[in-house]
Amino acid sequence: MTPSASAAVVPGHAPASAGSRARVVVLGAGAWGTAMACALAARHDVVLWARDAAQVAGMAATRANARYLPEVTLPVSIRVEANLREALGPALAASEGGLIVVATPTAGLRETLHAVMAQGQGLPTPLVWLCKGLERSSHLLAHQIVADELGEHALANAGPLSGPSFAEEVAKGLPTALTVAGGAALCERVTAIVHGGALRVYSTDDLIGVEVGGAVKNVLAIATGIAESLGLGLNARAALITRGLAEITRLGVALGARPETFMGLTGVGDLILTCTGDLSRNRKVGLLLGRGVALRDALVQLGHVAEGVWSAPAVLARAQALGVDMPLTHAVCAVLDGRSSPQDALRTLLARDPKREGIDVDRA
């Protein structure tokens, strides 16, 4: 199908003035990367990069991402590219008006950073990442991976862009609020580029809080999916979300985050969306597990990456190293690795001793 020129303007995203156009490269053509490219293409010059040349050729020919976002037409203004050097060129050249958006899963972040730096041009352009998880092997948050690969100094020009957002809705131009985390200069530049139309951007310097909220909510969405399949009801879902928020806050504070961050978009906002929305991949995994589907088969049926599956063991390991009790996360891990059935995990949780509730005294 060949779109008309009008397809370049995504509904809900009004074009900005010509003087404010930026050069944006989105690295990763999964659902989220494709959605972000669509959302920005009406206002900026956007290149969407994928390592799979066949996928790129297909997207260029059909103006659709048949595998990850088939229902959305790619604006004609998006240039799809398989050559990383060619993709990065415009954004790296526009030091004052460029942005690199890494839209790979957390498992692909390190490799993508390697590939970017291999171009030998340094990183003069602001960089944000969209992934929400911990690296399974190292248990590191995304910003720690960036510091590992690029050096601590790189975080002055890089940070996460996160918040309650389903790719399909972003691609269709539906209203979405996101948070960018980092230094004031980075937040100002990213906001100037991303904020507009149906995208609203807030900012914070609590990088750890934003990343912990984004990572752990995926694990808890698996728990709420399991609970729904078991027919536990809406009361149980509300309890899981609320106690899940307590787990997120405990871990985040132990890692150096501020408690109030978890009452914002990247905390309770993203948690509610992922635990209740029908478009949530992690919730879908939980629904399948609760019906007795094996994890491997559930992931095949899903057909997409569910970050919570790979992050859960890393979240639990990080919590245990810090002495932070996370019973819901522990239960999810037990189901994922086959040590417990969903029903047995539920019985274990219900058998726990009663606790007082409150941030200052909450330990379980």
Active-site residue set: 217
Helix (H, G, I), strand (E, B) or coil at 180: strand
Helix (H, G, I), strand (E, B) or coil at 128: strand
Residues 44 and 195: their CA atoms lie apart, in Å, by 12
Beta-carbon count within 10 A of 276 CB: 16
Closest CA to 218 of 239, 236, 199, 244: 244
Q: How many residues does the chain have?
A: 364
12: exposed, middle or buried (C-beta count within 10 Å: 0-12, 13-18, 19+)? middle
Residue that is written with structure tokens 């536990």 in the block? 232
Using alpha carbons, list the distances in angstroms from residue 346 to 101, 102, 120.
39, 37, 52
Cβ pair 306, 326 in contact under 8 A: no
Cβ pair 207, 217 in contact under 8 A: no
Dihedral (Cα; 129, 131, 132, 133), 10-degree rounding: -110
Using alpha carbons, list the distances in angstroms from residue 53 to 57, 60, 63, 213, 292.
6, 10, 15, 34, 37
Residues 268 and 37: their CA atoms lie apart, in Å, by 26
In the 8-state DSSP scheme, what is residue 268?
I
Residues 312 and 277: their CA atoms lie apart, in Å, by 20
* Alpha-carbon dihedral sign for residues 254, 257, 261, 267: negative
